[in-house]
Each structure stands twice: as C-alpha cells, then as structure tokens.
C-alpha cells in the first residue's frame, strides 16, 4: 500500500508549521539519543514507568472483549471528521457561537498566541492558570505570555514539575516521566518558594506527600485566578461541546473557577457527533492511563449561566495540520487522540526518552507527526522516521488504528528521495556486498574479531564500511572467533570456508 503523490493532488493544502524556537538546531535523533542513553538514571526511571503503564493498559484493554470493534468505531469517527473537516468545523463554530462562546481562528502559532494574549490583556489579568495541554506546548504559549509579562501557571502535577525544574516535557501523558520521586522533591524544595507557597519544610519523597505539596502550592492560584487556559480532547460538532479528560482536578479548577476561559483547539480535534463519545471515552482512558475511566471529565457547551466562566473563547488552530491533511496516507496521523500508548510500548522510546525527539510530540507518533507537521527541512525532522525498529507494537496499541510503521516507511522513502542516496541506503548496499560473498564476510568477521580483542569490553560504535549503520546502532562486541572460523577449526579438513560454494 504505497502512495506516491499524484499529479491531481490539491494545489494548496496549508503550509508546514515553523519549527518552534525551542527546537531549532536540534541535532539528529540518533545523536540526541546517544546522550540520553548515557543517562542511566533516566533510563532506569523510564524503564520502570513504561513497564508499569504497559501492564496497566493491557489489563484495562483485556477487560473489554469488543476492544477491536471500539478501535474501528473510534477510527471511523475521526476519519469522517477529517475527510469532511470544513463542514464539521463550520458546524462546530455555529454550535459554539449559539452556546455563547466566541470562536477565533489561528493560521499558526504566532497568531494563536496573539489572540490569547489580546484576551488576557483585555481582562487586565497578570496571570493565567493552565490545564495540561499539548497544543499550547506546541505553540509555546507560556513563553509568549511570559514575554508579555503574564505568568502562565501549569497546574497538572507533572507539568508543574517540568515548569519548576526549568525542564522540557518528555512524555505526552506524564511529561515528567524522566524524573523520579527524589528528583521531584528536590525541585519542589528548591523552586516552589520563588513562585508562590513554599514546599513544606519536612517534605519527603513519598508520592502522597509530593501530591499534597502541589495541592497546597496551587490552591491559592486556583482561588484567585481570573483567566483559565486549556486545550480540549474532543470538540463535538453537532452540540458545540468541548471535552477535557484529566485525573487530578486541576482541570476542573481551571475550567470552572475563572471568569474567563480560553481553549486552544487543534482543528483535528473535531468529532462529528455527540454519540461518538461512546467509543472515544472508552478508548482514551484505557489506552492512556490504563484506567476504566479517568477520575474527571469536564464537558461544556459554550457559556452556562450561573455556572463556571461567563466568558468563553475557543481558538481553532491550524499550524501545519492542513499540511498533514493534504497527504492521503499521512492524514491518518491526525486521528491521534494523544493517549501516549504508542510511547509506552516502544522499545526505542523506552531507552531514549522523549527529549531526543526534539518536539513536544515524542515517541512513535512524534516520529511520524513532526516531519509531517513541520516538513523535513531540519536535521531532527529528517532523522525522526528512523527513530524506530519498525516492530509494529505502536500500531497494535494505537486506539484509533494509526498505521505508524507504514507511515514511517513512507516518510523514510520521502526523505531518501529528497536526498538521493541516503546514509542508510549506502550502508545497506555495503551490507549486501558483504553478505553476497562468503569470502568477504569471513574477512570482515575476522577483522571485527581482531578489533573486538583490541577494544576490550568497550562497545563498538563504528565499523569501517558500516559507518552510517553503526552511527545509530552500537554493535555488541564480536566474539574472538566467528562461528565460521570455529567450524573450520573444529571440523577441520573438509573446510568449505572461502570455497564460495
């Protein structure tokens, strides 16, 4: 199932998004990954965390005998919305407006940030409280607000850890997955006092104590906040409803207590109809946190008189999404509901962590989404399609059936096509040459055997002639003797070695 761009492709789908300032000049994935692999603490944290969540997810999914049918229903609803996105966006806008919300449209990150900032300024607010949201990270809204003198407080526990640690998120669901409890306690003790209520003096690294510290630190911010900022997990076209799923209650606080609520929503978040939630509100929590249902889900449809924010804004954002939509094969990546199941099952992500992907969207979905959203101009985006062993676990885990391996292969061939002969194609050609003649293989094996003895127990990171291959893959140390040499010695005489039979 290959697709080559056909001449009849639409002339002007949207432009790719600009690489955000944070990630400009990111090295290639495999260079960034090497540094991450050297961080043994992080590897331990990630191994523990991904294994835990994988097991939880498996149990939650196994409870539902009709999981596959649910997946198909979820994918079908997203496909219907994406195939007819203009119609559903217009319907959504009508319903939102009828419900009393104000709808804004933003072509790119800069325009979205400007819209949000203008609203915040009109309310004369000096701070906003934020629900965890991937899209506001994507557009770097916090940075834009802070540059304008507005404090943006992250209120999700993991986001708070990342923000206080002057760090970057490394996972879609658990942005501080690379931190363990002791590191978190240190960050809270060091940083909380500068931005609000300090951490308790006797704070331990017990998760319940850390959660309590976050509760106390953030409560004063929730109680005084006048503007809340969120994303949305789903935007329902036929009812004009936005949905936010969460666990801690920080979302409810931000969506309920402020007078003004601004929600930034990627245009791919649209669902055709209310009833589609029947499948998606099962698929998302079980895939994401491995729970039957997440603790809290808030659904609102514009302004509700006497309940919650009385001024409700929705910013519908493109920022490269129409660029992805214009690609018939790549379009399916826009089904993504940001559950992060693909990260947790990925052998590459488990070892490198999220930072190496150079985007707020890490893991397998990031490896396909970033080069599609941003184009393949930068080193990092050109290398991401190779951040995978193509084992297929991500496709099996995806609750909306995105064929990530297929997209990766397609993107590889596009990047390769861009550049003519790629490093890997050269390496594979060299490998073919080596394996096609036993004499060459024997000579190469002897050479690495000798090299192995020379390097002792150090890992081999470069083999002459296989540079591009070993660039991204460490070879295990070769044994002192190859099987072929051993066979010749032990079974001597009738050696076929080098006979080129």
Partner 1 sequence: MTARDEILARVRAATADVETTAGAWAPLTVPEVAASRADTVGTFAENVADYRAEVVRVPTSESATAIIEALKRHEAATAVVPAGLPEDWLAAATAAARVVIDDGGLTAPELDRVDAVVTAAALGIATTGTIVLDHRADQGRRAITLVPDIHVCLVRSGQLVHDVPEAVRRLRPEDDARPLTWISGPSATSDIELERVEGVHGPRTLVVVLVDEDGDAV
Shortest Cβ distance from residue 491 to partner 1 (Å)?
Answer: 53
| Contact by Cβ (8 Å): 234, 285 | no
What residues are paired with 102 via a beta bridge? 313
Q: Please report whether residue 322 would count as binding partner 1 according to CB under 8 A.
A: yes
Of residues 29-58, those binding partner 1 (CB under 8 A): 45, 48-49, 52-53, 56
Pick between residue 150 and residue 158 the one whose CB is nearest to partner 1.
Answer: 158
Pick between residue 79 and residue 379 the one whose CB is nearest to partner 1.
Answer: 79
At 232, list the tokens.
């949305």
Pick between residue 90 and residue 147 the one whose CB is nearest to partner 1.
Answer: 90
Of residues 271-310, those binding partner 1 (CB under 8 A): 272-279, 281-282, 289, 291-302, 304, 306-308
Q: Please report whether residue 312 would count as binding partner 1 according to CB under 8 A.
A: no
Shortest Cβ distance from residue 171 to partner 1 (Å)?
Answer: 10
Cα angle 361, 367, 371; round to 5: 90
Cα radius of gyration (the chain) = 25
Q: How many CB atoms lie under 10 A from the CB of residue 247?
A: 17
Instruction: Identify the sign of the CA torsion 105, 107, 111, 112.
Output: positive
Shortest Cβ distance from residue 63 to partner 1 (Å)?
Answer: 8
3-class SS string, 263-306:
EEEEHHHEECCHHHHHHHHHHHHHHHCCCCCCCEEEEECCCECC
- The single-letter DSSP state of residue 246 is E
Q: Which residue has the tokens 């942005």?
A: 175
Residue among 58, 55, 32 nearest 47 (CA): 55
Of residues 103-132, those binding partner 1 (CB under 8 A): 104-107, 111
Q: Could you give the 3-state DSSP secondary structure of residue 463?
A: coil
Shortest Cβ distance from residue 247 to partner 1 (Å)?
Answer: 5
Pick between residue 19 and residue 250 the one whose CB is nearest to partner 1.
Answer: 250
Of residues 130-189, those binding partner 1 (CB under 8 A): 155-158, 161, 174, 176-177, 180-181, 184
Q: Please report whether residue 325 would count as binding partner 1 according to CB under 8 A.
A: yes
At 87, list the tokens.
């119609």
Q: d(Cα 228, Cα 156) in Å, to the nearest integer? A: 13
Shortest Cβ distance from residue 189 to partner 1 (Å)?
Answer: 15
Pick between residue 280 and residue 430 the one whose CB is nearest to partner 1.
Answer: 280
Of residues 249-278, those binding partner 1 (CB under 8 A): 249-250, 252-253, 256-257, 267, 272-278
Pick between residue 282 and residue 352 the one whose CB is nearest to partner 1.
Answer: 282
Pick between residue 40 and residue 432 the one whose CB is nearest to partner 1.
Answer: 40
Q: How many CB atoms lie under 10 A from the CB of residue 66?
A: 10
Q: Please report whether residue 80 would count as binding partner 1 according to CB under 8 A.
A: yes
Q: Please report whether residue 350 would count as binding partner 1 according to CB under 8 A.
A: no
């Amino acid at each position: 199932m290959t697709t080559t761009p056909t001449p009849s492709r639409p002339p002007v789908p949207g432009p790719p998004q600009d690489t955000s300032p944070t990630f400009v000049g990111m090295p290639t994935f495999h260079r960034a990954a090497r540094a991450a692999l050297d961080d043994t603490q992080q590897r331990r944290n990630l191994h523990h965390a991904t294994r835990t969540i994988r097991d939880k997810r498996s149990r939650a999914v196994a409870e539902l005998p009709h999981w596959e049918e649910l997946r198909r229903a979820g994918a079908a609803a997203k496909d219907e919305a994406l195939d007819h996105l203009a119609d559903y966006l217009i319907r959504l806008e009508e319903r939102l407006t009828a419900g009393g919300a104000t709808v804004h449209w933003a072509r790119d990150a800069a325009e979205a940030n400007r819209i949000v900032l203008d609203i915040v300024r009109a309310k004369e607010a000096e701070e906003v409280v934020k629900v965890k949201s991937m899209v506001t990270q994507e557009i770097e809204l916090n940075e834009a607000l802070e540059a304008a003198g507005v404090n943006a407080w992250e209120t999700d526990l993991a986001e708070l850890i990342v923000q206080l640690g002057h760090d970057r998120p490394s996972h879609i669901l658990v942005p501080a997955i690379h931190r363990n409890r002791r590191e978190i306690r240190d960050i809270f003790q060091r940083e909380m006092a500068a931005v609000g209520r300090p951490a308790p003096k006797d704070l331990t690294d017990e998760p319940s104590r850390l959660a309590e510290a976050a509760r106390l630190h953030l409560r004063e911010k929730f109680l005084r906040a006048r503007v809340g900022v969120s994303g949305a997990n789903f935007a329902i076209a036929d009812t004009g409803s936005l949905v936010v799923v969460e666990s801690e209650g920080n979302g409810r606080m931000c969506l309920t207590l402020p007078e003004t609520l601004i929600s930034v929503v990627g245009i791919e978040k649209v669902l055709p109809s209310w009833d589609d939630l029947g499948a998606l509100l099962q698929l998302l929590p079980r895939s994401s946190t491995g729970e039957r249902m997440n603790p809290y889900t808030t659904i609102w449809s514009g302004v509700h008189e006497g309940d919650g924010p009385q001024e409700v804004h929705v910013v519908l954002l493109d920022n490269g999404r129409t660029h992805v939509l214009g690609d018939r094969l790549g379009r399916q990546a826009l089904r993504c509901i940001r559950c992060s199941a693909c990260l947790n099952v990925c052998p590459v992500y488990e070892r490198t962590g999220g930072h190496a992907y150079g985007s707020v969207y890490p893991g397998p979905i990031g490896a396909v989404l970033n080069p599609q959203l941003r184009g393949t101009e930068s080193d990092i985006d050109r290398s991401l399609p190779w951040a995978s062993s193509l084992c297929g676990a991500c496709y099996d885990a995806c609750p909306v059936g995105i064929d990530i391996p297929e997209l990766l292969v397609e993107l590889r061939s596009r990047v390769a096509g861009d550049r003519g002969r790629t490093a890997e194609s050269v390496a594979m050609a060299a490998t073919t040459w080596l394996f096609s003649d036993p004499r060459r293989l024997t000579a190469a094996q002897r050479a690495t055997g000798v090299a192995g003895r020379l390097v002792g127990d150090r890992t081999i990171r470069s083999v002459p002639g296989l540079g591009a291959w070993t660039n991204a893959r460490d070879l295990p140390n070769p044994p002192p003797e190859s099987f072929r040499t051993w066979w010749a010695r032990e079974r001597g005489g009738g050696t076929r070695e080098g006979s080129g039979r």
